Structure 1
């Protein structure tokens, strides 16, 4: 960790008394280091904010229209309280989330699953049972009733928030045993569900007349065969297909596709082409090129696992150069990347505050994890970062400086919005650095309040800014 040399600054003030010793103006050794560092232009586009692809004509979001785009809330965590209360818990929070600048909430799988009142929904049985049929040992799901879910969605829409459904279409669970001629044994592949919609038999799962397998199976559950036209018709083709029922009847606005490694990207592509709405896939892979390939072929966004792993290396591994040199989906496809710090499956980043400062100032569609927001972190600081994202995080990205402890990047602004400069400090002491902005002879301030400086940029747009230890500052014009 670096230390600022206070003795050197004091000596400079004594020897060169004609130079102001105001720390807003003092040039130290960091200035030359910064000016020697070559700015990296990371993305090149017109700067238009993230577009969630929402095609609901009657949903005019007061947040996505803002300069920086939207922020998503993951509205659950693993093993939320059972007992049918969760839809009401989330309903009670969406107004506050909307007021904070959250533009969408992602809900857990909403339909009836094999484990009935105890299931988190990732073992689906009946896609059309949202807690209104008595099957699998319960009428309500773990989260509540169909009417409670409908009320939650209605309340979110009244706040101009979108609601994304978690869709599990790789595998099913809860079928009855039947003889399967393709395996020569009995398999649990007979689904005569209470809703009467999308009943299935062994030929709707691998292995079957369409082949032995597809791209992947999960946990030994029956692996749904998307090559079967009957399955395609029920998932996205017919007027009451799963996707269209969720969208047109339940009023979901988009989809988080679970375990998309288990089937080809063409499946999501076809769903999107036939159903519409926002779409993000859980392609759990840290290779940015692989994520880019999946997005392009699925015509969908993806969670930026490459960014997630690089943030862990950077903040917890004490090497912020990983943020400048690391390959991430948001750098390749900024309008396809959904960034996150933690979720219901993985929570390995310890320095979360720095990570949220990173994703909420950089490109992509940032996601906030329920427990981070409601339980574990400082909600006021997160709300401040959400405001900065929505109002200041505009334009394409230039990385200004990076070393083990410090990282500085500039959002270059869009459509009259000035953008920002973000300064991340992973060291145990205050740091100062000269950087080049896009603003000439302009007074700027730190919108986090972590620094009280209000320096004025020089005619050549250079200015010195500071950052507190193990924290961040975010600068823009007054």
Structure 2
């Protein structure tokens, strides 16, 4: 049975020392019984050293090039990242990379194009058609100068964005000739768009670039699996082929877990069906049951704590957790479970055979 450590939290210091700090803790992690570590996104992100990693800028920059005002990422350099992975492997601990394919941010240049303005609460409803807009969608990666890959990303690779530079105005824009993916979460009528420049998976060059990066990254790191970010906003069938290629390339069974943030068990089960049951999911409904149990002044019936959860319905595909970086106080998905209930909550997931338990760095180290 796997026991995973989410080896980061949102409010780590921006000192580029986290890869080294984890390495120093490896002996303790082994004693605690962790079989795998989920590491944060390693690629250079839009806010440079201040970015937790989810504002993806350059997937090929793992802390190697002077971009976004820094060479290292928030967590360290490419060499330190690879050294950490190698050391974990030598200690028989698997490593899972957090990858963000939904969007890109921090473009190097703007482009002037035509787009439709969409309603905030209904992304299929047009407010205005064929508007001329100036958008941040051209990624030239000048600091990398074509090393590893010389592809230039432009608006053709994306479906939309949420900012018009020309008018200094925030609005959801769907680009001319592009349409939101249909096979996504149904919130806002269609929840393809989340943030940044939204990748268009119907564009062959976009898919080819993600495949090229996946091969390069996997060959270099010999990674053991992936945590997939924001999958409810990405075509439900996209990862099937990409993950199949990674498994063939690495010639091993990979641990794959996706973040589908919904407490609706039916939505999670539908995603599993659409993705061919190849991707495990975080048991978000269980997290909210734990949250309710911790905040109802003793009125919660603990016999029902696993009711309507993925752990109850499909335990082999459930990854359990108590809290994570997104549920921390001050974050968009804030739903922090109070300290008095933490030991109870962790007992429920760590002492249960069903589900793959995940411990949060912020709960282990503060």
On whether the aligned pair clears a TM of 0.5, the verdict is yes
**Residue 278 (structure 2) pairs with residue 307 (structure 1):** no
1:222-301 superposed matches below 5 A: 222-236=197-211, 241-276=212-247, 277-298=254-275, 299-301=278-280
Change (3 A) 1:244 1:320: farther
**1:354 maps to which of 334, 341, 344:** 344
- Provide the residue aligned with 1:6 in structure 2: none
Q: What do the CA deviations read for 1:233-288 (whole angstroms, capped 9, x no partner)? A: 1112xxxx222222211222211111112112112222212213221111000112
Unaligned runs of 5+ in 2: 116-130, 160-173, 182-190, 248-253, 329-335
Equivalent residue pairs, number: 302
**Structure 1 residue runs of 4 or more that deviate by more than 4 Å after TM superposition:** none
Change (3 A) 1:209 1:161: farther
- Partners of 1:169 and 1:246 lie apart in 2 by 14
8 A contact 1:310–1:322 mirrored in 2: no
8 A contact 1:178–1:186 mirrored in 2: yes
8 A contact 1:203–1:209 mirrored in 2: no
Change (3 A) 1:228 1:322: farther
**1:119 maps to which of 51, 60, 75:** 51
- Partners of 1:112 and 1:249 lie apart in 2 by 17
8 A contact 2:286–2:305 mirrored in 1: no
8 A contact 2:289–2:306 mirrored in 1: no
**Residue 158 (structure 2) pairs with residue 205 (structure 1):** yes
8 A contact 2:290–2:305 mirrored in 1: no
**Residue 325 (structure 2) pairs with residue 344 (structure 1):** yes
How far 1:314 sits from its partner (Å)?
2.8
**Residue 358 (structure 2) pairs with residue 367 (structure 1):** yes
1:7-406 superposed matches below 5 A: 69-175=1-107, 176-182=109-115, 184-193=132-141, 194-195=143-144, 196=146, 197=149, 198-206=151-159, 207-208=174-175, 211-214=178-181, 215-219=191-195, 221-236=196-211, 241-276=212-247, 277-298=254-275, 299-317=278-296, 318=298, 319-321=300-302, 323=304, 326-347=307-328, 348-350=336-338, 351-362=341-352, 363-375=354-366
Change (3 A) 1:202 1:323: same
- Partners of 2:80 and 2:240 lie apart in 1 by 31
- Partners of 2:24 and 2:99 lie apart in 1 by 24
- Partners of 1:228 and 1:315 lie apart in 2 by 46
8 A contact 1:112–1:124 mirrored in 2: yes
Change (3 A) 1:325 1:154: closer
Q: Scaled by the length of structure 1, what TM-score is found?
A: 0.61
How far 1:134 sits from its partner (Å)?
0.9
How far 1:177 sits from its partner (Å)?
0.8
8 A contact 1:260–1:281 mirrored in 2: yes
1:422-461 superposed matches below 5 A: none
- Partners of 2:260 and 2:11 lie apart in 1 by 22
8 A contact 2:286–2:306 mirrored in 1: no
How far 1:210 sits from its partner (Å)?
5.4
Q: Quick check: which has more Rg, 1 or 2?
A: 1
Deviates more, 1:202-211 or 1:126-135: 202-211
How far 1:330 sits from its partner (Å)?
1.1
- Provide the residue aligned with 1:63 in structure 2: none
Deviates more, 1:263-272 or 1:224-233: 263-272
Deviates more, 1:243-252 or 1:312-321: 312-321
